[in-house]
Amino acid sequence: VTRTPPDNPLIAEFLDDYFAECDEHLTVIRRGLLAFESQIGRVRPDRRLCDELLRSLHTIKGLSGMVAIQPAESLSHQMESFLRALQDGNQPLTTDSFEALIAGTRRLEEVLAASRTHASMPDSAALIARFEALSRASAPLSTSLSTSPSTAAQESLPGRAVTSAGGVAGGGEEPSDGGLPQGMVLWRFGFQPSVPLHERGVNVTSVRKRLQAIGDIRYAAPRIAENGGGISFEFLVAAPADAAAFAGWQADGLTWTQEPPPETAGRSAPGALPAAVGLAPLSVTNSVRVDLSRLDTLVQLVGDLVISRSRLADILQRLDPSLPAAQRRALQETNQAIERQLRMLRDGVMRVRLVPISEAFARLQFIVRDLAGEQGKQIKLEVYGQETEIDKYLVERIRDPLLHLIRNAIGHGLEPAAERLACSKPAEGRITLRAATAGESVVLEVEDDGRGIDAADVAAQAHALGLRDTPDLAEGLSLLDILCLPGFTTRTQADRISGRGVGMDVVRSTIRELGGSLAMDSRPGRGTRFSLRLPLTLAIADALIAGVGRQTFAIPRALVEEVLPLGSCSSTRFENNEVILHRGQVLPLVRLASVLGLNEVAVQDHGFALVIDLGASQAALAVDTLVGLREIVVRTLTDPLVRVPGIVGATELGDGRAVLILDAPALIRAARQPPHGESRRRVEV
Amino acid sequence: MQRMKKILVVDDSATMRHMVQASLSRLAESAFIEAGNGLEAIEQLALTAVDLIVADLNMPDMHGIELIRFVRKQPAYQAVPIVVLTTRSDAASRSAALAAGASYYLTKPFSPDELAAEVGRLLTHA
């Protein structure tokens, strides 16, 4: 396999595609391996799982050869050989060989990452030797690994060979209907492709997708019509008996008949479904891989349209009042239609960028497994909401913060088994990962049922580190605020579990940069939960446009819980702090004018209080005027020279004015810090 | 003037299909159709007249050798050149593919020059 790659002009041209496709396959492999763990101890593990892993490894091998990334080629080849030996041999999958597969996958990732960044290549020789030994041990005695001529072609044929023309394949390749679930019958579908159907998007792949939606495809094969007619495809599908689901499909070239009920006598046990079961997932030709930069251009264009539209709305507002009402109405209606369509366009474009969070979660599951092994802790990982979709850009940016929270949970949160048993908890620690969509936000949670965070401990630690003169929770700094002070750590040793140089401060600032917020809820002895709230999409957001004095600002709508007229809720002073009473709660009131150092005319009693979500608590931000709710295009300020805490970016309003977008929670926190907080703020900048 | 030659590229990897097309793009006047598996390939062959097929062996659903056998059963495609492009370098796979009706057997990693030269030759002779 280690041949010298030919001098290949394709390498440079396809390297990006190569990395992208390998990433997809690694995701499939990671997910597959998690399911494969259940097969430990089994001889000839589940064919469907094996095939899926083999296919991805095989593709990585082939592509790596083409782009001359030899370590990836050899490693994937060895892993593939081992899985094949396992599939055909009589040795069970052991914990040790499973661990080797995990280690191999991780090394593949590392090799690809090193190639991508031109870093030095990790050494894979030992792993390759390990797989060679494993393959030798697992191979059936009769088959040598060098694939003797009699077995090679056979081996390369998967169990589900396709039928010959006009009939069922010899050797009983068509699967039995054994193992039909309760209430399911076997349907035989025929599909005859044609050019008109193909032009309408009805093809063998879309038909298969349709059949997958109604049941489980047990078999698929092409046929040549006996009368010399064209090609057709036949599918056996286990689906409910009710044919109503496919009424009307005749128009799409489909025919169907119900198979006679299976004779149960002499059938193999339900568990022993033949290898023919389990078609591959939809082929890749059904989707298009698009460069993210092209999508970014689209988003940018939609953003420009949003600005032009609000300019149009602005002009309409100031239309000459002498214009006949009918004309004015027509213009208004058209403007509203454009607004509606633009919103749909925006949603459509944003949806293209959404990917399921499962990709990021699968990687974390992998890491949890690994760290649990390293630390000798028993950990059960529960994952909810994997199908939740999130912007592709966000998924990449939150990977490190999530990883850090997981490492913390394992390293600091979960107690060793003995300690857990002593507090009458189950020996097995639990980590829960949750994802859910909440309005315009996505909420991700990392929760453990460990020892919780000891507030006094944290305060003492911060004090010892000299991070604050008098770290005191009563000062308004929350526990989370202290954890997020730059340089804060509860580590007693630089263990690799929770270290790697990233602190909670980086976690929080990354999330804030993404326009999100971080909250924490910790109960001593019960566990800790971190919640990350992130905008569903970046770039375009709804914002409240508010005025203070002569200045106008934008505040992201997602952060504002409520708007109250200041006159309705009298504010009072309480130990140097202004507060308002709202829904039976005392909320600190922060005046935007004073935070920003704008010349205050007088403390106003008109104006509005915006109730801002600070994660664990709320506070009110006072502004003079409210212009309204607008769709804004967020232009982030990435230049470190113009980055200021409390400002997340800038936007352009319909009238062409540029306004700053405020990070309201950060401003409120800054304002509520006592003067000696100055030293810290300087460090942060 | 010759009509445009249609080449069907069958591989479950999109990157690999594009690499094949890039290698063959130097051949004048050829158009490409893609298929990600055997069933898609058979559908394409039923809908359009194809002049040459480049196919992988290890594919989901339908193995390349089964694909070749099925293609050869159709009168219209008994003589169409089929180039097998696979990572399998063993003699057994090679002879199985040729016995099923492949015209040429090339292993991955392939040389774009060799692929283009062979496809060019097969198209002229066909």
Q: What is the pLDDT of residue A496?
A: 43
pLDDT exceeds 90 at position B44: yes
pLDDT exceeds 90 at position A596: no
Taking CB atoms and an 8 Å cutoff, what residues of chain B touch A283? 12, 36-37, 40, 60
Q: Which residues of chain A from 405 to 464 reach within 8 Å of chain B, CB to CB?
A: none
**CA nearest A48: which of A333, A281, A376?**
A281
For residue B89, the tally of other CB atoms under 10 A from its CB is 12
Report the C-alpha dihedral over residues A120, B13, B105, B47, rounded to 10 degrees: -160
Interchain proximity A153–B61, CB inside 8 Å? no
pLDDT exceeds 50 at position A51: yes
Taking CB atoms and an 8 Å cutoff, what residues of chain A touch B57? 156
Distance, in angstroms, between B122 CA and closest chain A CA?
A: 22
Q: What is the pLDDT of residues A397-421, one digit of tens each?
A: 888 889 889 988 988 889 988 899 9
Q: What is the average pLDDT score of chain A?
A: 78
pLDDT exceeds 80 at position A188: yes
Taking CB atoms and an 8 Å cutoff, what residues of chain A touch B39? 204-205, 208, 220, 222, 233
Task: Select from A150, A158, A162 the Cβ nearest to the Cβ of B70.
Answer: A162
Distance, in angstroms, between B45 CA and closest chain A CA?
A: 9
Taking CB atoms and an 8 Å cutoff, what residues of chain A touch B112? 6, 8-10
A321-325, A461-465, A545-549: range with lowest mean pLDDT? A461-465
Q: What is the pLDDT of residue A636?
A: 64
- Give the best-scoring range by mean pLDDT among A295-309, A521-535, B38-52: B38-52
Q: What is the pLDDT of residue A514?
A: 74
Interchain proximity A6–B57, CB inside 8 Å? no
Q: What is the pLDDT of residues B71-93, one digit of tens each?
A: 998 888 999 999 999 998 888 88
Q: What is the pLDDT of residue A493?
A: 43
Distance, in angstroms, between A1 CA and closest chain B CA?
A: 8
Residues found in chain B: 126
C-alpha of A436 from chain center: 11
pLDDT exceeds 80 at position A428: yes
Taking CB atoms and an 8 Å cutoff, what residues of chain B touch A224? 73-74
A3 interfaces chain B, CB cutoff of 8 Å: yes
Q: What is the pLDDT of residues A91-103, one digit of tens each?
A: 889 989 999 999 9
Q: What is the pLDDT of residue A387?
A: 84
Taking CB atoms and an 8 Å cutoff, what residues of chain B touch A51? 60
Averaged pLDDT, A211-228: 84
For residue A215, the tally of other CB atoms under 10 A from its CB is 19
Distance, in angstroms, between B63 CA and closest chain A CA?
A: 6
Q: Kindly indicate the confidence band of residue B34, based on its pLDDT and cuts at 50, 70 and 90.
A: very high
Q: Which residues of chain A from 207 to 246 reach within 8 Å of chain B, CB to CB?
A: 208, 220-222, 224, 230-231, 233
CA angle, A660 as apex, A656 and A663 as ends, to 5°? 150
C-alpha to C-alpha distance for B8 and B31, rounded to whole angstroms: 9
Averaged pLDDT, A368-386: 86
Interchain proximity B63–A148, CB inside 8 Å? no
Taking CB atoms and an 8 Å cutoff, what residues of chain B touch A17? 14-15, 18
Task: Select from B87, B90, B95 the Cβ nearest to the Cβ of A147.
Answer: B90
pLDDT exceeds 70 at position A62: yes
Higher-pLDDT residue of B39 and A369 is B39
Q: What is the pLDDT of residues A40-50, one digit of tens each?
A: 888 888 888 89
Task: Select from B63, B73, B89 the Cβ nearest to the Cβ of A158.
Answer: B63
- Give the best-scoring range by mean pLDDT among A77-86, A286-295, A362-371, B1-10: A77-86
Handedness of CA A74, A79, A84, A86 (dihedral sign): positive
C-alpha to C-alpha distance for A458 and A504, rounded to whole angstroms: 13
Task: Select from A9, A63, A151 the Cβ nearest to the Cβ of B112.
Answer: A9
pLDDT exceeds 80 at position A661: yes
Taking CB atoms and an 8 Å cutoff, what residues of chain B touch A203? 40, 43
pLDDT exceeds 60 at position A150: no
C-alpha to C-alpha distance for A661 and A539, rounded to whole angstroms: 12
For residue A412, the tally of other CB atoms under 10 A from its CB is 19
pLDDT exceeds 90 at position A449: yes
Interchain proximity A203–B87, CB inside 8 Å? no
Interchain proximity B14–A17, CB inside 8 Å? yes
Interchain proximity B109–A9, CB inside 8 Å? no
Averaged pLDDT, A292-300: 79
Distance, in angstroms, between A210 CA and closest chain B CA?
A: 15
Distance, in angstroms, between A674 CA and closest chain B CA?
A: 58
Distance, in angstroms, between A66 CA and closest chain B CA?
A: 5
Q: What is the pLDDT of residue A229?
A: 67
The amino acid at A237: V
pLDDT exceeds 60 at position A77: yes
pLDDT exceeds 60 at position A445: yes
pLDDT exceeds 80 at position A497: no
Q: What is the pLDDT of residue A3?
A: 44
Q: Kindly indicate the confidence band of residue A477, based on its pLDDT and cuts at 50, 70 and 90.
A: low
Q: What is the pLDDT of residue A275?
A: 35
Task: Select from A14, A149, A156 the Cβ nearest to the Cβ of B15.
Answer: A14
**Residue B81 DSSP symbol:** -
Interchain proximity A284–B12, CB inside 8 Å? yes
Distance, in angstroms, between B35 CA and closest chain A CA?
A: 7
Averaged pLDDT, A310-323: 82
Smallest CA–CA distance from B25 into chain A, residue = A10
**CA nearest A608: which of A619, A618, A620?**
A620
Smallest CA–CA distance from B69 into chain A, residue = A164
For residue A499, the tally of other CB atoms under 10 A from its CB is 15
pLDDT exceeds 60 at position A674: no
Taking CB atoms and an 8 Å cutoff, what residues of chain B touch A148? 92
pLDDT exceeds 90 at position A673: no
A256-260, A578-582, A655-659: range with lowest mean pLDDT? A655-659
A2-6, A421-425, A585-589, B16-20: range with lowest mean pLDDT? A2-6
Q: What is the pLDDT of residue A219?
A: 85
C-alpha to C-alpha distance for B78 and A531, rounded to whole angstroms: 63
A476: left (phi over 0), alpha (psi -120 to 50) or beta: left
Higher-pLDDT residue of A271 and A140 is A140
Q: What is the pLDDT of residue A539?
A: 63
With a pLDDT cut of 90, the percent of chain A lying above it is 18
Distance, in angstroms, between B104 CA and closest chain A CA?
A: 17
Higher-pLDDT residue of A82 and A390 is A82
Interchain proximity A153–B95, CB inside 8 Å? yes
- Over its C-alpha atoms, chain A yields an Rg (Å, rounded) of 31
pLDDT exceeds 50 at position B19: yes
Q: What is the pLDDT of residue A472?
A: 46
pLDDT exceeds 70 at position B2: no
Taking CB atoms and an 8 Å cutoff, what residues of chain B touch A146? 90
Q: What is the pLDDT of residue A541?
A: 73
SS (H, E, C) B45-57: HHHCCCCEEEECC
Task: Select from A14, A51, A161 the Cβ nearest to the Cβ of B18.
Answer: A14
pLDDT exceeds 60 at position B115: yes
C-alpha to C-alpha distance for A147 and A155, rounded to whole angstroms: 9
Distance, in angstroms, between A158 CA and closest chain B CA?
A: 7
Interchain proximity A65–B87, CB inside 8 Å? yes
Does residue A527 contact residue A635 with C-beta atoms inside 8 Å?
Answer: no
A162 interfaces chain B, CB cutoff of 8 Å: yes
Smallest CA–CA distance from A147 into chain B, residue = B90
Higher-pLDDT residue of A104 and A572 is A104
Interchain proximity A230–B46, CB inside 8 Å? yes
A390-394, A623-627, B52-56: range with lowest mean pLDDT? A390-394
A158 interfaces chain B, CB cutoff of 8 Å: yes
pLDDT exceeds 90 at position B15: yes
- Give the best-scoring range by mean pLDDT among A282-296, A344-358, A568-582: A344-358
Does residue A180 contact residue A238 with C-beta atoms inside 8 Å?
Answer: yes
Distances (CA, A) of A233 to A166, A205, A550, A561, B112: 11, 11, 71, 56, 34
Task: Select from A59, A146, A220 the Cβ nearest to the Cβ of B13.
Answer: A59
pLDDT exceeds 80 at position A270: no
